[in-house]
Amino acid sequence: MNDKRIVWLLLRMIFNTGISRIWELSANYDTAEEFYTALKHHEISEVTEREYALVDKLTEADALKILDDCSQKNINVYCYESEGYPRMLKYIADPPAVLFSLGNLDFLNDKCVISVVGTREPSDYSVGICKFLCKDLISKNIVLASGFANGIDRIANDVSVECGVPTVAVCGTTLEHDYPPGTLESKMQIAQNGAVISEHIPGSKPFANAFQMRNRILVGISRGVVFIEAGAESHGLNNYTHATSQGKPVFVVPPSDISDKRYFGQRYLLRNECIPLFNAEDVVYRLALDSFDSFAFTKDLGDFNLPADDSDFYSREEKQQNTKPKAVSKAPDVEPAAKPEIDYSELDDNESAVCRVLEQGGQMLADNISLKSGLDISTVLSALTLLELEGIVRSLPGNRFELA
């Protein structure tokens, strides 16, 4: 199989509704080809009878048929090893094995992407705020991404198209499926400068939790998430869960009415230390702080000042005084104290697995700990909480963790 996409497509078809199964079962193999060969020889005991039946049934011809079908429909196919596969997706717990796109994905590796999410039926207040913020973010050279639902998501894509800049739509269905109804033309418009993405094989039926699974990709390609409007029961709050596990900042538009149930999701997010959003500078400033060591990341963003709205109340002398650089005294070199050894006999299996990953990897995101340990993200977050209470692990800015 000279085309690596063939073996990845076969794996994708075998483990159709369990994307994480690919990563769980292939952990002990160096390449996808080695993993697939082991499957063909029925050498993996954890594989189910149903999965082995698909291994025996599917052939290279089935994968080639999908590639040919996509080519005729101008759909690009990227596997995990493809050169244009979005780099940031490789850092999430369950990256899509194969991506299908209208439009080229190469630009994603060179742009700062922010996902914009919200209700399908926004208030007039939220519509106006969304359009203002989208234009403001675009002015800072930020690419907007959405889950391509009606309402807030579509506004973000539409504003980008109107401004003539790239934008990204991540779909929860196949690319050729007209969902939301009447949006096929909009997909084509987005694909001219940007990309419409799906992990669903053209012609297939989406699985039950397809839209929640879509959100991990949307957050995965983004540097942060912007919530415009969300109710307490909003399915869009799932994006917050993905952002937390991936260590991405979450920005929230303050509600116009704190007693209006339409905004109770925003109240929840703000209570959980998400970042109030008033303009694009709030986003750029936070991203610059998070990426202070990487000047290459911030050089493409628009100019910004400290987002201090009360700066107009300072006198000119006070402003000048506040902007003078402060002298930094160099601390004397001190030999770091040796970390105490962990008594694994006092920990359960999940806590031990998390600690061993942190011993090997140092500072890590919860998603990466999940990927390395083979534990699901909820189990990892629970173990990290207990370990932090026991003083074995400490949390760091950016939702990273390390051994105390």
Are the C-beta atoms of residues 163 and 138 closer than 8 Å to each other?
yes
Q: What's phi and psi for 195, nearest 5 deg?
A: -155, 145
Report which of residues 71 and 346 the model is more confident about: 71
- In this structure, is residue 39 part of a structural domain? yes
Among residues 298, 323, 358, which one ends one of the domains? Answer: 298
The 3-class secondary structure across the chain, one letter per residue, is CCCHHHHHHHHHHHCCCCHHHHHHHCCCCCCHHHHHHHHHCCCCCCCCHHHHHHHHHCCHHHHHHHHHHHHHCCCEEEECCCCCCCHHHHHCCCCCCEEEEECCCHHHHHCEEEEEECCCCCCHHHHHHHHHHHHHHHHCCEEEEECCCCCHHHHHHHHHHHHCCCEEEECCCCCCCCCCCCCHHHHHHHHHHCEEEECCCCCCCCCCCHHHHHHHHHHHCCCEEEECCCCCCCHHHHHHHHHHHHCCCEEECCCCCCCCHHHHHHHHHHHCCCEECCCHHHHHHHHHHHCCCCHHHHCCCCCCCCCCHHHHHCCHHHHHHHHCCCCCCCCCCCCCCCCCCCCHHHCCHHHHHHHHHHHHHCCEEHHHHHHHHCCCHHHHHHHHHHHHHCCCEEEECCCEEEEC
Does some domain include residue 319?
A: no
Give pLDDT, residue 376: 82
**Number of other residues whose CB lies within 10 A of the CB of residue 249:** 22
CATH number (domain holding residue 397): 1.10.10.10
Task: Answer yes or no: is pLDDT of 173 > 50.
Answer: yes
Q: Does residue 333 have a pLDDT over 60? A: no
Do 43 and 184 share a domain, yes or no? no
**pLDDT band (50, 70, 90) for residue 302:** low
Whether residue 131 is found in the same domain as residue 64: no
Strands 393-396, 400-403: pairing is: antiparallel
- Asked if residue 334 is part of any domain, the answer here is no
Pair (115, 54) in one structural domain: no
Provide the pLDDT confidence category of residue 297 given band limits of 50, 70 and 90: very low
Nearest in space to 190 (alpha carbons), one of 211, 171, 206, 173: 171
Q: Is residue 97 part of a domain?
A: no
Average pLDDT over residues 242-263: 95
Whether residue 171 contacts residue 149, with contact meaning beta carbons closer than 8 Å, is answered with no
Residue bearing tokens 């439009």:
103
Q: What is the band of 327 on the pLDDT scale with cuts at 50, 70, 90?
A: very low
Q: Are strands 98-102 and 76-79 parallel, antiparallel or unpaired?
A: antiparallel
Same domain, 150 and 44: no
In terms of domains, do 279 and 362 share one? no
Residue 292's identity, in one-letter code, is F
Specify the pLDDT at position 135: 97
pLDDT of residue 340: 62
Assigned domain for 47 exists: yes
| Tokens 């209570």 belong to residue | 271
- The verdict on residue 281 lying in a domain is yes
Whether 125 and 230 share a structural domain: yes
User: Distance between CA atoms of 193 and 157, rounded to whole angstroms?
Assistant: 11
The model's pLDDT over 84-143, given as tens digits with 9 standing for 90+, comes to 999 999 989 889 999 999 999 989 998 999 999 999 999 999 999 999 999 999 999 999
The residue out of 279, 298, 317 marking a domain boundary is: 298
**147, pLDDT greater than 60:** yes
For residues 180 and 272, membership in a common domain is answered with: yes
Residues 239 and 113 in one domain: yes
20-58 pLDDT, tens digit per residue, is 899 999 989 999 999 999 999 999 999 999 999 999 999
Q: How far apart are CA 99 and CA 76, in angstroms?
A: 8
Domain of residue 144 covers 102-298
pLDDT at 394: 87
Q: What is the CATH number of the domain that holds 195?
A: 3.40.50.450
What are residue 403's DSSP bridge partners? 393
pLDDT for 326 beyond 70: no
Give yes or no for a contact between 93 and 219, defined as CB atoms under 8 angstroms apart: no
Indicate the pTM of the whole model.
0.76
What is the pLDDT averaged over residues 268-286?
94
As for how many domains the chain has, the answer is 3
Q: Is residue 59 located within the same domain as residue 108? A: no
**Hey, what are 250's tokens?**
């979450």
Rounded to an integer, the average pLDDT of 62-82 is: 96
pLDDT at 301 (0 to 100): 58
Residue type, 207: F
Q: Per-residue pLDDT tens for 207-242? A: 778 888 899 999 999 999 999 999 999 989 999 999
Q: Which residues pair with 78 in a beta bridge?
A: 99
The model's confidence at residue 66, banded by pLDDT at 50, 70 and 90, is very high
The answer to whether residue 96 sits within a structural domain is no
DSSP-assigned beta bridge partners for residue 276: 252
Residue 296 has pLDDT above 50, yes or no: no
Same domain, 55 and 119: no
Pair (119, 44) in one structural domain: no
Q: Does residue 158 share a domain with residue 27?
A: no
Q: Report the 3 state secondary structure along 247-259.
A: CCCEEECCCCCCC
State the first-to-last Cα distance of the chain, in angstroms, to the nearest integer.
47
Q: Is residue 310 part of a domain?
A: no
